[in-house]
Amino acid sequence: MTVVAGPAKSKLPRAPKVRPLPKRRDSLVAAGALAQLIERESSLRRRDVRRFVIGWSIVAVAIAALVAFGFTYISVRVPGSPPLNSTRAIAVVGALVIGLTFPLALLTRKGSRSDMVDEFLSQGSHSTSANDDPFIRCALAVAFAGALYGEFLVIDAVKSWCVRFRLRTVDRYRAATILGALMTNYAGIDPRLLLRHGEDPMALRRTIAYLLACEWADISPAGDHLLLLSPARRALREGAFIAM
């Protein structure tokens, strides 16, 4: 008996099954760090806005107090004097105070700000000549010291804005992966070990600078380790800034 074979069935290749890669632990840490980075950026923006507003408010109060003292002093010492234009007086005194103090605030280093304010206050406590009025001297010293303090706040806020503007193009997820690595390595990481294959060293440098600007990391004194900045050390820095 002859058996006739039917047409052979063609076997199509099966489509490969795509298996999802298991989530790595460092990616989960990076995702959490990314959320903290975004929250920290918002917090720094609000802090700088507060510094800017409070700084100019302190300067305005110092100028207003000096003008009010001048009006009171003139009315008491010179009772028959003609009335002064308050708007013009505020403009003249404000221009004088800001013109004299703002260049000093720009040139004063952050570590010597307390000395500069103390110097202004000490100048108002001792006489520089035999004929000067101690009340005017004290009022000028307090007004200039207050204006300096307010201008320090404004300058720091503007500097912080400028730094973050320069670092606006930094890859936030790359910064989050480095921050996540710092969170799991409390002893610190050598910055050279963070460089990936094919990564631009300048890009990594900008990413590290971003973490430093956002007060997430710090460099060891020897410069060979990138360390996580703890909340306690961050609070100490804030306290040192307020105390100046």
Residue pair 177/30 in contact (Cβ under 8 Å)? The answer is: yes
The confidence band for 13, taking pLDDT boundaries of 50, 70 and 90, is: low
pLDDT over 90 for what percent of the chain?
A: 23
User: Which stretch of 143-152, 159-168, 184-193 has the lowest confidence by average pLDDT?
Assistant: 184-193
Residue whose C-alpha is closest to residue 182's, from 22, 42, 24, 37: 37
Query: Do residues 153 and 172 share a domain?
Result: no
Whether 52 and 156 share a structural domain: yes
Q: Tokens 């105070």 correspond to what residue? A: 97
Give Cβ neighbours of residue 105 (< 8 Å, ≥ 6 apart).
Answer: 148, 151, 152, 155
**pLDDT tens profile 17-74:** 545 544 445 567 778 888 889 898 999 999 999 999 999 999 999 999 888 888 887 7
- pLDDT value of residue 77: 67
Q: Is residue 41 part of a domain?
A: no
What is the pLDDT at residue 238?
65
Angle at Cα 167 formed by Cα 165 and Cα 169, nearest 5°?
100
Mean pLDDT over each residue of the chain, to the nearest integer: 80
70 and 111, same domain (yes or no) = yes
Q: Are residues 146 and 174 in the same domain?
A: no
The verdict on 65 and 155 lying in the same domain is yes
pLDDT tens for 109-140 read 887 888 888 887 787 666 555 556 777 788 88
User: Do residue 120 and residue 189 come from a single domain?
Assistant: no
Reported confidence tier of residue 208, pLDDT bands at 50, 70, 90: very high
Residue 126 lies in a domain: yes
The token pair at 83 is 């009335």
Q: Are residues 67 and 137 in the same domain?
A: yes
A 10 A CB-CB count for 11 gives 6
Residues 179 and 139 reside in one and the same domain: no
Pairing type for strands 226-228 and 217-219 reads: antiparallel
Q: How many CB atoms lie within 10 A of CB 62?
A: 25
Total domains in the chain come to 2
More confident residue, 199 or 19: 199
Q: What is the pLDDT of residue 22?
A: 45
CA 104, 67, 131: angle at the middle one, nearest 5? 75
Residues 60, 152, single domain; the answer is: yes
Are 123 and 209 members of one domain?
A: no
State residue 72's pLDDT score.
Answer: 81
Stronger pLDDT, 180 or 237, i.e. the higher one: 180
Residue span of the structural domain in which 57 resides: 46-160
The better pLDDT of the pair 236, 170 is held by: 170
Phi-psi sector, 225: left (phi>0), alpha (psi -120 to 50), beta: beta
- pLDDT of 240 reads 57
Q: Can you give the pLDDT at residue 237? A: 65
Residue that finishes a domain, picked among 105, 135, 160:
160
Q: Above 90 in pLDDT, residue 197? A: no
Highest mean pLDDT, choosing among 69-78, 167-176, 219-228:
167-176
177 in any annotated domain: yes
d(C-alpha 174, C-alpha 203), whole Å = 10
Residue 192 within a domain: yes
